[in-house]
Structure 1
Amino acid sequence: MPSMQLMNDLRRIDLNLLVILDALLSEQHVTRAAERLHLSQPAVSHALARLRDLLGDALLVRQGGSLVPTARALELAAPLAEALAQVQALLAPNRFDPASAKRRFRVAMSDYSAAIFLPDLVRVLRREAPGIDLQIIQASREGMVDGVLNGDLDLAAGVFPDMPAELRTTPLFEEHYTCLVDRDSLAASGTLDLPTYLSRPHVLLEMRGSGTPEIERALTAIRERRHVAISLPHWGVAPQLIRGTDLILTVSSRGLLEIDHAHLLAVPPPFHIPSFAFELAWHARRGGDSGLQWLIGQVQGVLKI
């Protein structure tokens, strides 16, 4: 923690004076230093006078047609140049070079999310940023939000209807629901009506702590309920449970892009379930993290946003 004396010393220093001193020590000529800094000669001369007073040393003395640095000035030259370079780096935009970066990002997503974009994302990372590692973490919606808030997660992919003010999101795509049934279990029409939907058992994809499923809220709105026969936290095996049974799986449509169409059938729900935005979420304090923003851009890229 800076001492009070240091704070007082820093208040006396105009950073621009140090930039001028660096130019004077390099050029050893007031006019050339002024031209280099795009300042007038009187302005540089005035700055040199202030520097002499501030540091208690002549710094540069005239010898022939040039200014020669004093011993004190020579001592200052190297650390001054280094300090200015560090300040410049501090104030410069945070640049991220994916080809040379070495980082690990902790990203929360369900296996549904992973199936949609993770393979394509990994191929991009291996090609363009081989030093970037991903740690994929599965969590409930509340767990994702808490993880991003407390810094355990860099990024979360999911559905976030009510976000804390500290978090930022960007939409990836608009999603809607589809019902998956065994092809032989439907009538010849291939349609699913509400009485059939309500009379048959259902598979529910639910992680502990994810709150009331959107489907249950939609059914409550029409004063109906369904019977959940199988509840599981993972998407991967769910379609296999439908084949050869009377079970119904109501899920986000993108997860059904590679189903067994010979035996399974995707049909619209027989009641209204609102569509929703699938999003990426991160903490507002990470807005200046160019590496994280680059990763977000890659996710958007593989989804063609």
Structure 2
Amino acid sequence: MHQMNDLRRIDLNLLVILDALLNEQHVTRAAERLHLSQPAVSHALARLRDLLGDPLLVRAGSSLVPTSRALELMAPLAEALAQVQSLLAPNTFDPATAKRTFRLAMSDYGAAIVLPGLIRTLRREAPGIDLQISHASREGMLEGVLNGDIDIAAAVFPEIPNELRSTPLFEERYACLVDRSSLPETGTLDLATYLSRPHVLLEMRGSGTPEIERALTSLRERRRVAVSLPHWRVAPEFISGTDLILTVASRALRDIDESTLVVVPPPFEIPSFTFVLVWHKRRGGDQALNWLNERIAEGIKR
């Protein structure tokens, strides 16, 4: 009963302020985020400390550090506010008049696949919807969706937490890019040639590249990496006129210069992978998010 009385003393505005404080960890920034005055946010923090019986945020230099109790509150508070927002949202979503900002996370490979069709659709059907695109590791993307920092993540996820929903976009396979003149007379790559040549390694966050190393490990083989880089757009330029080999998702090689470069299958089996969209289950009632997911799937470059 005491807990129920405490809850009755906390209005929704205080919870919104607490959420901003826990995310910003700075009173002034939280006030700017909420379009409130700094004294108003400070007063709200004092009320929250009294109501919850915890300091919630303690000063460390110029920042405020959340207490263990505050850290426990972050995820359920974000989920509760999202549910309230969904409850109060209009029953219908009109893309032509909607004004929303969605935060998407993906690798540059994912961006090349997802964004061209999606952005054209948004400009045509929903000009008031804006996108914020970020780049993170697979783990970082999932964490962002879990804590509410990201609305949708698009990548290869071997494991997806139970709190999240996902939908497959396409199945992808690997291919090798080589200089046409460096191919053996057979016109294909055999395993011995593949292992004897230097390689370009793409350490793209959110990509499927670890599967290549796992496939080689299963053969008890290793490849020599001569160039390692975090993005694939420039990689084909390294291949022309060299003996380098680039092994990458085949969709990344659609626009290469076929006069000097050639795409061939890998000389060993690399499992294909599924590229998926991921979002939080608590967002299931968000019609705008559901609409955006459908537009992403429809706009994929096939």
Q: TM-score, normalised by structure 1?
A: 0.68
Q: Which amino acid aligns with 1:294?
A: W
- Name the CA shift for 1:245/1:195 in 2 (closer, same or farther; >3 Å): same
**What does 1:222-237 align with in structure 2 at a 5 Å threshold?**
222-237=219-234
Q: Which of 263, 267, 271 is the matching residue for 2:264?
A: 267
Number of the residue aligned with 2:246: 249
Aligned to 1:21: none
1:112 is matched with which residue: 109, 112, 115? 109
Contact 1:202 1:228 in 2 (8 A): yes
Corresponding position of 1:135: 132
Once residues 110 and 212 of structure 1 are traced to their aligned partners in structure 2, the CA distance between those partners, rounded to angstroms, is 12
CA drift at 1:117: 2.8
Length, aligned pairs only: 223
Q: 1:137-192 deviations in whole A, cap 9, x for unaligned?
A: 11111111111111111111110011111111100001000001111111232100
Gap change, CA 1:263 and 1:223, over 3 Å in 2 = same
Counterpart contact for 1:142–1:210, Cα < 8 Å: no
Question: Measured at CA, do residues 182 and 282 of structure 1 come closer, stay the same or move farther in structure 2, by a change above 3 Å?
Answer: same
CA contact (8 A) 2:197 2:243 kept: yes
1:152 aligns with one of 149, 152, 169: 149
Match of 1:107, as an amino acid? Answer: L
Question: Which sections of structure 2, spanning at least 5 residues, go unmatched?
Answer: 9-85
| 2:291 counterpart of 1:297 | no
Work out the percentage of aligned pairs sharing the same amino acid: 70
Quote the offset at 1:115 in angstroms.
Answer: 1.4
TM-score of the superposed pair, with normalisation by structure 2 = 0.69
Give me the whole-angstrom Cα distance separating, in 2, the residues matched to 1:103 and 1:93.
13
> Are the equivalent residues in 2 in contact too, given 1:177–1:253 (CA < 8 A)?
yes
- Secondary structure at the counterpart of residue 113 of structure 1: helix
Give the letter aligned to residue 205 of structure 1.
Answer: L
Distance 1:97 1:209 in 2: 32
User: Quick check: 1:123 aligned with 2:86?
Assistant: no
Question: Which digits, 9 at most, give the CA deviation of each residue in 1:15-51, with x for residues without a partner?
Answer: xxxxxxxxxxxxxxxxxxxxxxxxxxxxxxxxxxxxx
Q: Is the 8 A contact 2:240 2:261 kept in 1?
A: yes
Two-structure CA RMSD over aligned residues (Å): 2.5
Paired amino acid for 1:147? G
